[in-house]
Structure 1
């Protein structure tokens, strides 16, 4: 059997294992180890298993992952994310659909702390769904806006998706973070416009909330100042070159812990809860990365990337045609696979094609991460939809999927704008 056929068989086996709900890391470890064993011998497989996992585990750049995760978890248990939502609610809650719009802003702010879409959807779901239910918002709009708003966590920096992409493609984490800022703001803006448009067309979806006094607005904004300071310091520090991404993660994590301790919203029990959750999440991410560094040599040995590159060139679609085809593949895969699994599976195959076409890998990273976001709310997997369902138990799953459709369309518009206007992604990294 030729190496290309062995590589293709391994790829199909990996897809089957993932669809059978085998944990991503274990599925990739199995296929990568066995594939290298077949192509290059048992000694090569065991050698790579030892060397690659040790090399990755000792990579100091990866400390950014647990620090940003800890920062987000501490912000969640101390109520910082809730106070950002309250500030947005005090400002625009009295507008028709204002509670839903405030939820989008709250999701964006929490995304800038946690870097996790699942954490954003879960935290904002617990905070916002009860409020929107109290003011008779349509369950379709309320659950849809939380599920979609949570996806901002993977695009607005710091983003775990960007960190994984940077490690797999050897790109700058800091430049990727900066590349996600304007697209993240653009997507958040389109989400807000979607909410206002839906409520203008059908006012019963989002009734007006109660008006707030100037003093209530002031108190709400004062409560949100700590989270805004942390966001500005971490992201601004990376942009200005004061901090590396790793240092920014350390500063951000330290700041939220100090703020929580001083404000007495963080005790030892809640800190232990946040730290334990951070360790579990970090371990999952690290296992996936280690498995990726084992399966990537298998894919390279199979010559599968070269064969795929040859096929795409033979289609003669041109640079933009090939890029759109690759993004379409990501959109289809997002309906069935988890985001990190998609990155690990596809980047070793598609990156040589992207580089040969002269496409900027930073720009491509933003496009890929946005397609991963879309997969988070695409049926039948749509993990954010299931997260919201776990909070809104009385809302049918079909109703939540119908609720996210307008926001999925807004994401598709954003993707089209980013493809047509690369400088939306590349301007800030170019200014660094």
Structure 2
């Protein structure tokens, strides 16, 4: 059996395992090890042991549990609610303002948690009851939360960027910086999408929140400044070269723990839940990475990436053509596969094709993550949609999916803008210290 056939069978088997709900990490581990055994039997078990040990002892990967811990502590301490309250007080009286406040709250919480699911769940519990109380249409209310939650894998610290950096051996710090301006731009695009929806159909946001007196606005902003200060310190420290991304994660987690303690939220029950959630989330990501690197080794043994790269070169495609083709593929696959599954499946194949064409892998990482975001709210899988459905149990799935389309097109517009002006993503990483 030739190597190309083995590679094709490996990908087909992997997709079948994912279709029957096999955990992503386990599926990639099994297929990768079996594929290596078919090509070079004596290398199968050593490769399995080497990759697992290498990733389990990787220092850069400590960033994942630290940022997950920081996000969980932010939820327990009330920092996330403070941010939403401030956005609610300043934006709530404008038509569509509560939906915009939910998006801003998701963006802020994303800068602490790095998780789209945690952002959607946390902000959904806080903001959805308010929007429904003031008569917001269910589609707009749930759609803004599901879409806002996706900012968790774009605005740093992003678990998606960490996984991408480990797979491509790019700088985590540079990828974090590359996500800042696109994340802020996409947040603005979401707010514009809300404004357009409400402008076209005012009944979707019929009621205005009660006006809040000026003193209460500033008090809420002051409480939210604690969370904003931690975000600015960690992200600004990376940009200024004061500390690395891993050190920033440690500092951010320590500061969030101090705030939690000062607010009297460090109860035994709360800490047990925080650390249990952190361990579960970290274990899931590590398992995926173990499988990804074993599968990546298998792909390397098959030389399929060299075959595909040679074919692309023979066709005369430019880097832009190939980037667009891969982004379209990501958007389509995102409708059926989990975002992390798609990332770890595709990057080992995509990277060797793009690099010879001169494509900047930092730029492509930002574009790929936005494409993953589109998958998180696209039918029929739409993981974030199911998270919001768990909060709004009485809202039909069809209503939620209809509500996300304005935000889906906002993401598509963000991709087009970044392709047209790459400096939106590359300016900060290219000017950061060290």
Residue 363 in structure 1 maps to residue 350 in structure 2: no
In the alignment, the residues of structure 1 paired with residue 377 and residue 17 of structure 2 have an alpha-carbon distance, to the nearest angstrom, of 22
SS at match of 2:335: coil
In the alignment, the residues of structure 2 paired with residue 377 and residue 92 of structure 1 have an alpha-carbon distance, to the nearest angstrom, of 25
SS at match of 1:336: coil
- The structural deviation recorded for 1:121 is 0.5
Equivalent position of 2:339 in the other structure: 339
CA contact (8 A) 2:234 2:251 kept: yes
Deviations along 1:173-208, one digit per CA (max 9) or x if unpaired, are 000000000000000000011111111221111132
SS at match of 2:183: helix
Residue 59 in structure 1 maps to residue 58 in structure 2: yes
Alignment of 1:420-431 (within 5 A): 420-431=420-431
Residue 181 in structure 1 maps to residue 197 in structure 2: no
Deviations along 1:312-371, one digit per CA (max 9) or x if unpaired, are 233333221111111111111111111111111111111011101001111111111111
In the alignment, the residues of structure 2 paired with residue 416 and residue 317 of structure 1 have an alpha-carbon distance, to the nearest angstrom, of 19
Deviations along 1:12-69, one digit per CA (max 9) or x if unpaired, are 110111111110011011100100000111x310001111111111111111000000
Equivalent position of 2:26 in the other structure: 26
In the alignment, the residues of structure 1 paired with residue 184 and residue 313 of structure 2 have an alpha-carbon distance, to the nearest angstrom, of 35
CA contact (8 A) 2:63 2:249 kept: yes
In the alignment, the residues of structure 1 paired with residue 208 and residue 198 of structure 2 have an alpha-carbon distance, to the nearest angstrom, of 10
In the alignment, the residues of structure 1 paired with residue 385 and residue 50 of structure 2 have an alpha-carbon distance, to the nearest angstrom, of 39
Length, aligned pairs only: 431
Structure 2: runs of 5 or more not aligned: none
CA contact (8 A) 2:77 2:263 kept: no
CA contact (8 A) 2:82 2:223 kept: yes
- The structural deviation recorded for 1:242 is 0.6
Equivalent position of 1:379 in the other structure: 379
Residue 150 in structure 1 maps to residue 149 in structure 2: yes
Structure 1: runs of 5 or more not aligned: none
In the alignment, the residues of structure 1 paired with residue 11 and residue 102 of structure 2 have an alpha-carbon distance, to the nearest angstrom, of 40
SS at match of 1:180: helix
SS at match of 1:225: helix
Alignment of 1:308-323 (within 5 A): 308-323=308-323
CA contact (8 A) 2:114 2:157 kept: yes
SS at match of 1:144: helix
Equivalent position of 2:403 in the other structure: 403
CA contact (8 A) 1:309 1:352 kept: yes
- The structural deviation recorded for 1:301 is 0.8
Q: Could you list the structure 1 runs, at least 4 aligned residues long, displaced by more than 3 angstroms after superposition.
A: none
In the alignment, the residues of structure 2 paired with residue 405 and residue 310 of structure 1 have an alpha-carbon distance, to the nearest angstrom, of 38
In the alignment, the residues of structure 2 paired with residue 374 and residue 122 of structure 1 have an alpha-carbon distance, to the nearest angstrom, of 18
Equivalent position of 1:226 in the other structure: 226
CA contact (8 A) 1:19 1:336 kept: no
- The structural deviation recorded for 1:311 is 2.7
If the length of structure 2 is used for normalisation, what is the TM-score?
A: 0.98
In the alignment, the residues of structure 1 paired with residue 310 and residue 391 of structure 2 have an alpha-carbon distance, to the nearest angstrom, of 47
